[in-house]
Amino acid sequence: MSASASTIAIADAIVTFLNSIQTPVAPATNPFAPFTFTAYRDYAPTFELTEMGTLHVVVCPRDKKQGVGGRSLGTRPQDDGIDIGILIKPANLDPTAALSAQLAILDPLMLLVEQIADAVAFEDFAGSGWIATDNTPIYAADGPMSLRQCKQFTSVLKLTLRRLR
């Protein structure tokens, strides 16, 4: 039996994966360029607004669901939920600037979110296979630490991974 909960092992494997694919062996390139980051695992991350000038990619265990499996096979499905938060307060984001200037800053961040979602899709982590990603809403427009109130970009990918126990 593992020394850590399976959801933690999955989150740690995702962190390792995201960090490792940013430094590929040539001729491959960083799939997240021009962005670089160090992903890390946390349970309930909190940040000071002054820290948010740096890109944060936080992997958090979310939930676990077990279902009825094949009794004759002695297995049951287990779905693990993992959230990946992508957060940054771009220094050059000016809400009074022209819309095109704001989009020039925010569009690459949305692309980064999609690239992270694509990178983890169809992968296996700690014996669990990816089955779904939800990104609703695609960014936080209102509320604490949001685009409107704090000029901070926040997007959360909600992953579901499955394994048979």
Domains of the chain plus CATH, in order, are: 6-67+78-164 (3.30.2000)
List Cβ neighbours of 97 (8 Å cut-off, separation of 6 or more).
Answer: none
pTM, two decimal places: 0.90
List Cβ neighbours of 131 (8 Å cut-off, separation of 6 or more).
Answer: 79, 160, 161, 162
16: burial class by Cβ within 10 Å (0-12, 13-18, 19+)?
A: middle
Q: What is the pLDDT of residues 30-88, one digit of tens each?
A: 899 999 999 999 999 988 888 999 999 999 999 998 877 666 666 788 899 999 999 99
For residue 73 the two structure tokens come to 């096979």
Q: To the nearest 10°, the Cα dihedral for 85, 89, 93, 94?
A: 120
Range 90-104 average pLDDT:
87
